[in-house]
Structure 1
Amino acid sequence: MSTITAAITDCTLTTTVSKSKRTVKAHTRQFSSAYLYNVLPSDLTSDRVSNLRPCKLFHGDVFVEELLNVNEMGNVDHVPSYQFKFGWSNHLDKLFCETEIIDNIHKMNEVIKTWGNSFRIMMQCSQNRYVLLELKIKDSNEDRGFRDLVCRISDEFEILAELMWD
Protein backbone atom coordinates (compact mmCIF):
# COMPACT_ATOMS: atom_id res chain seq x y z
CA MET A 1 0.00 0.00 0.00
CA SER A 2 1.37 3.41 -0.91
CA THR A 3 0.33 6.83 0.23
CA ILE A 4 1.54 10.17 -1.00
CA THR A 5 1.98 12.87 1.59
CA ALA A 6 3.41 16.33 1.72
CA ALA A 7 4.49 17.64 5.09
CA ILE A 8 7.20 20.04 6.19
CA THR A 9 9.11 19.23 9.34
CA ASP A 10 11.98 20.93 11.10
CA CYS A 11 15.05 18.90 11.97
CA THR A 12 18.20 19.88 13.77
CA LEU A 13 21.45 19.07 12.03
CA THR A 14 24.23 17.53 14.09
CA THR A 15 27.10 19.67 12.86
CA THR A 16 29.50 22.02 14.58
CA VAL A 17 27.13 24.87 13.85
CA SER A 18 23.56 23.98 14.71
CA LYS A 19 21.28 25.03 11.85
CA SER A 20 17.64 24.32 11.21
CA LYS A 21 16.89 22.19 8.14
CA ARG A 22 13.46 21.75 6.65
CA THR A 23 12.43 18.55 4.94
CA VAL A 24 9.42 17.74 2.83
CA LYS A 25 8.00 14.25 3.15
CA ALA A 26 7.51 13.43 -0.52
CA HIS A 27 6.31 9.85 -0.30
CA THR A 28 5.65 7.11 2.25
CA ARG A 29 5.54 3.38 1.54
CA GLN A 30 3.94 1.12 4.13
CA PHE A 31 4.72 -2.57 4.62
CA SER A 32 2.73 -4.67 7.06
CA SER A 33 3.47 -7.91 8.92
CA ALA A 34 6.91 -6.68 10.03
CA TYR A 35 8.68 -8.23 13.01
CA LEU A 36 11.74 -6.92 14.82
CA TYR A 37 13.93 -9.27 16.87
CA ASN A 38 16.98 -8.65 19.01
CA VAL A 39 20.31 -9.79 17.57
CA LEU A 40 22.20 -12.16 19.83
CA PRO A 41 25.95 -11.56 20.25
CA SER A 42 27.99 -13.97 18.13
CA ASP A 43 29.69 -15.51 21.18
CA LEU A 44 26.27 -16.56 22.53
CA THR A 45 25.13 -18.24 19.33
CA SER A 46 27.77 -20.96 19.31
CA ASP A 47 26.85 -24.67 19.38
CA ARG A 48 27.28 -25.00 23.14
CA VAL A 49 24.56 -22.38 23.81
CA SER A 50 22.13 -23.36 21.06
CA ASN A 51 18.98 -23.05 23.18
CA LEU A 52 19.03 -19.24 23.04
CA ARG A 53 16.55 -17.72 20.61
CA PRO A 54 16.06 -14.12 19.53
CA CYS A 55 13.21 -12.34 21.30
CA LYS A 56 10.39 -10.77 19.27
CA LEU A 57 10.34 -7.07 20.18
CA PHE A 58 7.84 -5.64 17.70
CA HIS A 59 5.03 -6.65 15.34
CA GLY A 60 3.53 -3.94 13.17
CA ASP A 61 4.22 -1.86 10.09
CA VAL A 62 7.32 -0.43 8.42
CA PHE A 63 6.98 3.04 6.96
CA VAL A 64 9.68 4.06 4.46
CA GLU A 65 9.62 7.83 4.11
CA GLU A 66 11.22 9.61 1.17
CA LEU A 67 12.33 13.08 2.25
CA LEU A 68 13.42 16.09 0.21
CA ASN A 69 15.51 18.90 1.73
CA VAL A 70 14.42 22.51 1.40
CA ASN A 71 17.22 25.08 1.47
CA GLU A 72 17.08 28.62 2.90
CA MET A 73 15.94 29.99 -0.47
CA GLY A 74 12.96 27.63 -0.53
CA ASN A 75 14.39 25.47 -3.33
CA VAL A 76 13.98 21.71 -3.06
CA ASP A 77 17.13 19.57 -3.31
CA HIS A 78 16.34 16.81 -5.79
CA VAL A 79 18.55 14.25 -4.02
CA PRO A 80 16.20 12.44 -1.64
CA SER A 81 16.93 10.99 1.75
CA TYR A 82 15.07 8.15 3.44
CA GLN A 83 14.04 7.03 6.90
CA PHE A 84 12.60 3.73 8.13
CA LYS A 85 9.99 4.03 10.87
CA PHE A 86 8.31 1.21 12.78
CA GLY A 87 4.83 1.65 14.21
CA TRP A 88 1.18 0.73 13.83
CA SER A 89 -1.11 2.03 11.11
CA ASN A 90 -3.96 2.55 13.59
CA HIS A 91 -1.65 4.62 15.87
CA LEU A 92 0.32 6.79 13.44
CA ASP A 93 1.18 9.25 16.21
CA LYS A 94 3.08 6.56 18.16
CA LEU A 95 6.24 4.94 16.84
CA PHE A 96 8.14 1.96 18.22
CA CYS A 97 11.47 3.08 16.75
CA GLU A 98 13.11 4.64 13.71
CA THR A 99 16.42 4.77 11.91
CA GLU A 100 18.45 7.87 11.38
CA ILE A 101 17.96 9.68 8.08
CA ILE A 102 19.78 7.97 5.21
CA ASP A 103 21.21 10.41 2.68
CA ASN A 104 24.11 8.53 1.02
CA ILE A 105 25.37 5.02 0.21
CA HIS A 106 27.68 4.90 3.24
CA LYS A 107 24.80 5.65 5.62
CA MET A 108 22.61 3.14 3.75
CA ASN A 109 25.20 0.40 4.27
CA GLU A 110 25.44 1.29 7.97
CA VAL A 111 21.68 1.31 8.56
CA ILE A 112 20.33 -1.69 6.64
CA LYS A 113 21.85 -4.91 5.29
CA THR A 114 20.33 -8.02 3.80
CA TRP A 115 21.00 -10.95 6.14
CA GLY A 116 19.82 -14.26 4.64
CA ASN A 117 16.02 -14.21 4.60
CA SER A 118 15.86 -11.12 6.83
CA PHE A 119 17.53 -7.71 7.30
CA ARG A 120 19.85 -6.33 9.92
CA ILE A 121 18.81 -2.78 10.68
CA MET A 122 20.50 -0.22 12.94
CA MET A 123 18.04 1.74 15.04
CA GLN A 124 18.77 5.20 16.40
CA CYS A 125 18.18 5.50 20.14
CA SER A 126 18.41 8.41 22.54
CA GLN A 127 21.71 10.00 23.51
CA ASN A 128 23.35 9.11 20.17
CA ARG A 129 23.22 5.34 20.83
CA TYR A 130 22.32 2.64 18.33
CA VAL A 131 20.96 -0.89 18.56
CA LEU A 132 21.11 -3.60 15.89
CA LEU A 133 17.83 -5.42 15.26
CA GLU A 134 16.71 -8.14 12.85
CA LEU A 135 13.78 -7.30 10.57
CA LYS A 136 11.56 -9.98 9.07
CA ILE A 137 8.50 -9.36 6.93
CA LYS A 138 6.26 -12.42 7.08
CA ASP A 139 4.04 -11.75 4.05
CA SER A 140 5.97 -12.89 0.95
CA ASN A 141 4.53 -10.21 -1.36
CA GLU A 142 5.28 -7.46 1.17
CA ASP A 143 8.78 -8.89 1.69
CA ARG A 144 9.46 -8.88 -2.04
CA GLY A 145 8.23 -5.29 -2.32
CA PHE A 146 10.39 -4.21 0.62
CA ARG A 147 13.46 -5.95 -0.85
CA ASP A 148 12.83 -4.25 -4.20
CA LEU A 149 12.54 -0.85 -2.51
CA VAL A 150 15.74 -1.32 -0.48
CA CYS A 151 17.57 -2.42 -3.65
CA ARG A 152 16.24 0.59 -5.60
CA ILE A 153 17.31 3.02 -2.86
CA SER A 154 20.76 1.40 -2.65
CA ASP A 155 21.19 1.56 -6.44
CA GLU A 156 20.09 5.20 -6.44
CA PHE A 157 22.71 6.11 -3.82
CA GLU A 158 25.43 4.12 -5.62
CA ILE A 159 24.75 6.00 -8.86
CA LEU A 160 24.78 9.33 -7.03
CA ALA A 161 28.07 8.41 -5.33
CA GLU A 162 29.63 7.58 -8.70
CA LEU A 163 28.39 10.84 -10.20
CA MET A 164 29.73 12.85 -7.27
CA TRP A 165 32.96 10.84 -6.97
CA ASP A 166 32.07 10.00 -3.37
Structure 2
Amino acid sequence: MDSQLRHLFKDTSLFTVPPPLKDDNILNERPIIQEIFNGALIVKEFLSSPGTSTASVDDEINYSMTMPRSSLLFEFVYDLDSNNPIEFCHSNVIDNLHKFQEFIGDSDVGSHSTYSIMVEIMNMRIPLTLNINNDIDNRKFKDLLVRLKDEFELIEDMYYM
Protein backbone atom coordinates (compact mmCIF):
# COMPACT_ATOMS: atom_id res chain seq x y z
CA MET A 1 0.00 0.00 0.00
CA ASP A 2 1.37 3.39 -1.03
CA SER A 3 0.64 6.55 0.88
CA GLN A 4 1.45 10.19 0.36
CA LEU A 5 2.33 13.03 2.70
CA ARG A 6 2.08 16.61 1.49
CA HIS A 7 4.12 19.43 2.99
CA LEU A 8 3.00 22.91 1.93
CA PHE A 9 5.11 26.09 1.98
CA LYS A 10 2.97 28.96 0.67
CA ASP A 11 5.39 31.88 0.30
CA THR A 12 8.42 30.77 -1.72
CA SER A 13 10.54 32.31 -4.46
CA LEU A 14 12.93 30.94 -7.06
CA PHE A 15 15.84 32.99 -8.35
CA THR A 16 18.29 32.55 -11.19
CA VAL A 17 21.88 31.67 -10.41
CA PRO A 18 24.46 33.68 -12.34
CA PRO A 19 27.24 31.71 -13.97
CA PRO A 20 30.55 31.69 -12.13
CA LEU A 21 33.00 34.31 -13.34
CA LYS A 22 36.44 33.06 -14.29
CA ASP A 23 37.96 36.46 -14.89
CA ASP A 24 36.59 39.76 -13.57
CA ASN A 25 37.97 41.56 -16.62
CA ILE A 26 35.56 39.82 -19.01
CA LEU A 27 32.40 41.32 -17.51
CA ASN A 28 32.20 44.78 -16.00
CA GLU A 29 29.14 43.85 -13.95
CA ARG A 30 27.97 40.64 -12.37
CA PRO A 31 24.83 39.30 -14.11
CA ILE A 32 21.59 40.32 -12.44
CA ILE A 33 19.83 37.76 -10.27
CA GLN A 34 16.19 37.57 -11.35
CA GLU A 35 13.20 36.30 -9.40
CA ILE A 36 11.48 33.88 -11.79
CA PHE A 37 8.84 32.41 -9.49
CA ASN A 38 6.82 33.50 -6.47
CA GLY A 39 4.23 31.02 -5.22
CA ALA A 40 3.86 27.81 -3.26
CA LEU A 41 6.09 24.78 -2.85
CA ILE A 42 4.48 21.40 -2.32
CA VAL A 43 6.76 18.59 -1.17
CA LYS A 44 5.11 15.25 -1.84
CA GLU A 45 6.50 12.35 0.14
CA PHE A 46 5.52 8.93 -1.19
CA LEU A 47 5.88 6.04 1.23
CA SER A 48 5.62 2.47 0.02
CA SER A 49 5.15 -0.55 2.22
CA PRO A 50 7.51 -3.48 1.82
CA GLY A 51 6.36 -6.18 -0.56
CA THR A 52 5.71 -9.72 0.50
CA SER A 53 8.48 -12.16 -0.21
CA THR A 54 8.28 -15.93 -0.42
CA ALA A 55 12.05 -16.49 -0.54
CA SER A 56 14.37 -17.10 2.37
CA VAL A 57 15.51 -14.25 4.61
CA ASP A 58 19.14 -14.89 3.66
CA ASP A 59 18.55 -13.88 0.05
CA GLU A 60 20.01 -10.34 -0.23
CA ILE A 61 17.99 -9.37 -3.29
CA ASN A 62 14.71 -10.21 -1.61
CA TYR A 63 15.88 -8.55 1.61
CA SER A 64 16.38 -5.26 -0.19
CA MET A 65 12.99 -5.62 -1.84
CA THR A 66 11.27 -5.97 1.54
CA MET A 67 12.63 -2.68 2.88
CA PRO A 68 10.30 0.31 2.91
CA ARG A 69 10.87 2.82 0.14
CA SER A 70 10.47 6.55 0.25
CA SER A 71 10.47 9.01 -2.64
CA LEU A 72 9.95 12.75 -2.96
CA LEU A 73 8.65 15.20 -5.50
CA PHE A 74 9.03 18.97 -5.17
CA GLU A 75 6.37 21.00 -7.07
CA PHE A 76 6.32 24.76 -7.48
CA VAL A 77 2.81 26.06 -8.20
CA TYR A 78 0.95 29.35 -8.75
CA ASP A 79 -2.62 30.00 -7.61
CA LEU A 80 -2.67 27.31 -4.95
CA ASP A 81 -6.03 28.46 -3.61
CA SER A 82 -7.78 28.12 -6.98
CA ASN A 83 -9.41 24.94 -8.28
CA ASN A 84 -6.67 24.45 -10.89
CA PRO A 85 -3.25 25.47 -9.57
CA ILE A 86 -0.71 26.14 -12.32
CA GLU A 87 2.55 24.23 -12.05
CA PHE A 88 5.69 26.27 -12.71
CA CYS A 89 8.15 23.37 -12.46
CA HIS A 90 8.92 20.28 -10.42
CA SER A 91 11.84 18.12 -9.48
CA ASN A 92 12.53 14.64 -10.72
CA VAL A 93 11.48 11.85 -8.37
CA ILE A 94 14.02 11.72 -5.56
CA ASP A 95 14.32 8.21 -4.16
CA ASN A 96 17.86 7.95 -2.82
CA LEU A 97 20.52 9.93 -0.97
CA HIS A 98 22.55 10.72 -4.10
CA LYS A 99 19.55 12.27 -5.89
CA PHE A 100 18.59 14.17 -2.73
CA GLN A 101 22.06 15.69 -2.35
CA GLU A 102 22.17 16.43 -6.06
CA PHE A 103 18.81 18.23 -5.94
CA ILE A 104 19.08 20.44 -2.86
CA GLY A 105 21.73 22.00 -0.68
CA ASP A 106 22.16 24.92 1.72
CA SER A 107 23.57 28.16 0.42
CA ASP A 108 23.55 30.78 3.16
CA VAL A 109 23.59 34.22 1.54
CA GLY A 110 23.77 37.10 3.98
CA SER A 111 21.50 36.79 7.00
CA HIS A 112 18.68 34.94 5.24
CA SER A 113 18.98 31.23 4.54
CA THR A 114 18.46 30.08 0.97
CA TYR A 115 18.77 26.71 -0.75
CA SER A 116 20.45 25.81 -3.99
CA ILE A 117 18.35 23.41 -6.05
CA MET A 118 18.81 21.67 -9.39
CA VAL A 119 15.65 21.32 -11.47
CA GLU A 120 15.56 19.33 -14.68
CA ILE A 121 13.43 20.83 -17.44
CA MET A 122 13.37 19.42 -20.98
CA ASN A 123 16.48 17.30 -20.27
CA MET A 124 18.39 20.36 -19.08
CA ARG A 125 19.67 20.73 -15.54
CA ILE A 126 18.95 24.24 -14.29
CA PRO A 127 20.41 25.52 -11.01
CA LEU A 128 18.10 27.82 -9.07
CA THR A 129 18.04 29.43 -5.65
CA LEU A 130 15.05 28.69 -3.43
CA ASN A 131 14.00 31.20 -0.79
CA ILE A 132 11.29 30.44 1.78
CA ASN A 133 10.00 33.90 2.68
CA ASN A 134 8.20 33.00 5.92
CA ASP A 135 10.50 32.39 8.93
CA ILE A 136 8.25 29.71 10.47
CA ASP A 137 7.93 27.87 7.14
CA ASN A 138 11.69 28.19 6.66
CA ARG A 139 12.30 26.45 10.01
CA LYS A 140 9.78 23.72 9.10
CA PHE A 141 11.46 23.28 5.71
CA LYS A 142 14.90 22.92 7.31
CA ASP A 143 13.53 20.34 9.76
CA LEU A 144 11.90 18.44 6.89
CA LEU A 145 15.16 18.39 4.92
CA VAL A 146 17.11 17.09 7.92
CA ARG A 147 14.55 14.31 8.51
CA LEU A 148 14.46 13.30 4.84
CA LYS A 149 18.25 13.25 4.54
CA ASP A 150 18.50 11.14 7.71
CA GLU A 151 15.93 8.69 6.34
CA PHE A 152 17.76 8.34 3.02
CA GLU A 153 21.06 7.81 4.87
CA LEU A 154 19.47 5.18 7.10
CA ILE A 155 17.94 3.30 4.17
CA GLU A 156 21.24 3.46 2.28
CA ASP A 157 23.10 2.09 5.33
CA MET A 158 20.57 -0.75 5.62
CA TYR A 159 21.26 -1.79 2.01
CA TYR A 160 24.97 -2.20 2.73
CA MET A 161 24.60 -4.14 5.97
The TM-score normalised by the length of structure 1 is 0.74
Cα deviations across residues 65-116 of structure 1 (Å, max 9, x unaligned)?
Answer: 011358998xx97321011100031245420000001101000011111111
1:14-163 superposed matches below 5 A: 24=2, 26-43=4-21, 49-69=28-48, 78-88=68-78, 89-91=80-82, 92-116=84-108, 117-126=113-122, 128-163=123-158
The percent of aligned pairs where both chains have the same amino acid is: 26
Deviation at 1:50, TM superposition (A): 4.4
Structure 2 distance, partners of 1:147, 1:46, is: 34
Instruction: From the superposition, tell whether residues 25 and 124 of structure 1 become closer, same or farther in structure 2 (CA, over 3 Å).
Output: farther
Instruction: From the superposition, tell whether residues 40 and 51 of structure 1 become closer, same or farther in structure 2 (CA, over 3 Å).
Output: closer
Aligned residues of 1:68 and 1:77 also touching (Cα < 8 A): no
CA-based RMSD:
2.9
Q: Residue type matched to 2:12 in 1?
A: A
Residue 165 (structure 1) aligned with residue 160 (structure 2): yes
Q: Give the 3-state SS of the residue equivalent to 2:21 in structure 1.
A: helix
Runs (5+) with no aligned partner, structure 1: 1-22
Instruction: From the superposition, tell whether residues 77 and 164 of structure 1 become closer, same or farther in structure 2 (CA, over 3 Å).
Output: closer
Q: Is the radius of gyration larger for structure 1 or structure 2?
A: 2
**Number of aligned pairs?**
142
Aligned residues of 1:45 and 1:52 also touching (Cα < 8 A): no
Relative contact order, CA 8 A, sep 6+: which one is greater? 2
Structure 1 distance, partners of 2:22, 2:36, is: 19
